[in-house]
Amino acid sequence: MPSDTPLRVLITGATSGLGREMAVQLARRGARVALTGRREDKLKEAAGAVRDAGGQTLELLGGVDDPAAVRRHYAQIKAAWGGLDWAILNAGISEACYARAFKAETVRKTFATNVLGAAYWLEAVIPDMILAGAGRIAGVASLAGYRGLPGHGAYSASKAALIALLESARVDLRGTGVSVTTICPGFVKSELTARNRYPMPFLMETPAAVRIILSGVERKKRVVSFPWPMAFFMRRVAAHAPDALYDFLAARSGPMKKADA
């Protein structure tokens, strides 16, 4: 990270979990951090934590699923800082989505935030980064995107879509100076995982997960997946397992047993 000029960073979904911790850790390095979030009280609290950590901040209230809000937020960033060096597309939601009580609305809402929310920001920041010949984009997907997890069809599908979207953008942007990193965490302590009532193997503390993420973005890694035992299993084993074997194992996982209860 350059020491002479403060890094200009966008973090979407920055009011809690990975987003908030990324903002604080970057602020400790002197970065200017633009935070987006839907909850005004949480947004103000996160911005205060950034300032306490030594960083400058912009508070951008609103959801990433609103393209008008995204355009307005990016205009505010350009007016204040002239542009961005990093865009970390972290906003995401997760709701149970059991096929036995399937609701298409759950899929629509999940894709609106997890996929379209990232797409609106990609549309906003890529042209200026190409003009500048530099920039780093990171999208927070999930190891859940490598297979359809029982009880989490909408979430898994949205993260699979985001993985493919970011991969395509990464290839298209070769030679422009703009790097794209796909972040695929396993279970990390957050408001989302706190709702889970089933075993979460290799559950990570948020600060440790964020250190891995920021290191990967700094190094322009194509994919950052962790923790390594879960990443190895999902990307190298489960993703290539015969469908019959995957179905057998997944049907005995915590989420499915909860659905059967």
pLDDT single digits (tens) 26-67: 999 999 999 999 999 999 999 999 999 999 999 999 999 999
DSSP state of 46: H
Span 177-199, pLDDT tens digits: 999 999 999 878 766 665 665 56
Please name which of 217, 239, 216 lies closest in space to residue 143, comparing C-alpha atoms: 239
Exactly one of 74, 120, 146, 155 is catalytic; name it. Answer: 155
Predicted local distance difference test score (pLDDT) of residue 2: 45
Span 8-260: which CATH code? 3.40.50.720
Predicted local distance difference test score (pLDDT) of residue 258: 41
Catalytic, 155? Answer yes
Predicted local distance difference test score (pLDDT) of residue 247: 87
Q: What is the dihedral of CA 210, 212, 217, 223, to 10 degrees?
A: -120
Q: Compute the distance between CA of residue 259 and CA of residue 126 in angstroms, rounded to an integer.
A: 41
Name the residue with tokens 């993260």. Answer: 159
pLDDT of 132 higher than 50: yes
For residue 17, give the amino acid letter.
G
From first CA to last CA, the distance across the chain in angstroms is 50
Span 199-256, pLDDT tens digits: 666 678 999 999 999 999 999 999 999 988 787 878 888 888 888 988 888 887 654 4
| 113-117 contacts at long range (C-beta below 8 A, 24 or more positions apart) | 113/63, 113/64, 113/65, 114/155, 114/158, 114/159, 114/161, 114/162, 115/158, 115/161, 115/162, 115/165, 116/64, 116/65, 117/12, 117/63, 117/64, 117/65, 117/70, 117/89, 117/91
For residue 68, give the amino acid letter.
A
3-state secondary structure 240-257: HCCHHHHHHHHCCCHHHH
Cβ burial of 228 (10 Å; 0-12, 13-18, 19+) is: exposed
Helix-helix angle 17-27:40-52, to 10 degrees: 30
For residue 149, give the amino acid letter.
L
Predicted local distance difference test score (pLDDT) of residue 124: 98
Span 70-124, pLDDT tens digits: 999 999 999 999 999 999 999 999 999 999 999 999 999 999 999 999 999 999 9
Predicted local distance difference test score (pLDDT) of residue 187: 79
pLDDT of 22 higher than 50: yes
Span 133-162, pLDDT tens digits: 999 999 999 999 999 888 999 999 999 999
Full DSSP string of 179-221: EEEEEEE--B-SHHHHT--S--TT-B-HHHHHHHHHHHHHTT-
Is the overall model pTM greater than 0.85, yes or no? yes
Predicted local distance difference test score (pLDDT) of residue 76: 98
